Chains A and B, each alone.
Chain A
Amino acid sequence: MSPIELLAVVSTVAALFAIAIGVMFPALAMGRAIAAALDALARQSEAEKSIMRTLFIGLAMIESLAIYVLVIALIVLFRNPLIEYLLK
């Protein structure tokens, strides 16, 4: 395999694994956060507003981790800076 073919194969496989693993753990974290929020909501339903607000902000924080993985995977697939180095 020429280096450029090897790079294509490796970067595709790496991007797939990155997305798979990078989505798995934020999903677990979000599940725990939502479970805790529902627990708190069942105990104290009068605090619904602040619980939901904090939950949304926390979910956004966790979700941004998965988004970082997506951005890195897209960079590896479409704008890999190493390609220029190989083509020189």
Chain B
Amino acid sequence: MEESKVLMVFGPLHITDTVVSTWGVMIVLMLLSIVFTRGLKTETPSRIQVILESTVSLIETLIADILPDQSRKLVPFIGTLWLFLVVANLMGLIPGLHSPTGNLSITAALAIVVFLSVHWYGIRYDGFKNYLRHYLSPTPLMLPFHLISEVTRTLALAIRLFGNIASLEMAALLVLLVAGFLVPIPLLLLHVVEALVQAYIFGMLALVYIAGGIQTQQQHKDKKEKSS
């Protein structure tokens, strides 16, 4: 629960190191993808192109497993989440840098983006009225529970990522204080695994939530078609 350092002050705006590292991750990812996607070849792909293609196709198959017919629409959003979170979570391993995801503001912002996109994709798939109707299914009595679950799952998404990354960094620091130089290395190895798993889980849960918003519509449609 350490305060993030304030690097610059513009009037009422305090630029902390978390903001700087988030923008750093974004700029690095954008520059790398612009540089590496230049001069793509179909016959003699370079080594980097093969790595990029296998990454993208892995993301596509993971999404297609859950949502076979809508996967093309979701690849940009979920893929960006995964790439950003992997880089951001692993950043804490570099000496002198902290993971931006160890800050509750960043994870809360990501969770809010996921919360809004659930509705965005749900409404885009089947229209406003039909989307709102799923809150009343199977009976209108379920409405409060639907609303509560919307809030709590978003909160849980933010707290889970923040708690994991922040506690890993803190644990390594505590072991360093108690035991000394080079002892926290096994914990840092655990950090690598945990960072990858947490990025996977965050993106996967976002995907499952969006799929839930879309699929309730689909069942509704199927039922209508059967009855008509």
Contacts and interface: CB of A to CB of B under 8 A. Distances in A.
Specify whether A and B are partners: yes
B65 A74 contact: no
A33 B156 CA distance: 20
Main secondary structure of the interface of A (DSSP, over half): helix
Contact of B160 (A49, A50, A67, A79): A67
Contacts of B167: 67, 70
A51 to B, nearest CB: 12
Given A56-B201, A56-B204, A70-B167, A64 B160 contact: yes
Interface size class of B (residues with CB under 8 A): 10 to 19
Contacts of B200: 56
Contact of A60 (B66, B162, B201): B201
A57 B160 contact: no
Nearest to A74: B1
A49 B65 CA distance: 9
B1 A78 contact: yes
A57 B204 contact: yes
Nearest to B61: A49
B156 A64 contact: yes
A64 B208 CA distance: 17
9 A-B pairs with the lowest CB-CB distances in the bound complex, closest first: A67-B163, A64-B160, A60-B201, A78-B1, A64-B156, A74-B1, A71-B163, A70-B163, A67-B160
12 contacts: A50-B65, A56-B197, A57-B204, A63-B164, A64-B156, A64-B163, A67-B160, A67-B167, A70-B163, A71-B162, A75-B1, A78-B1
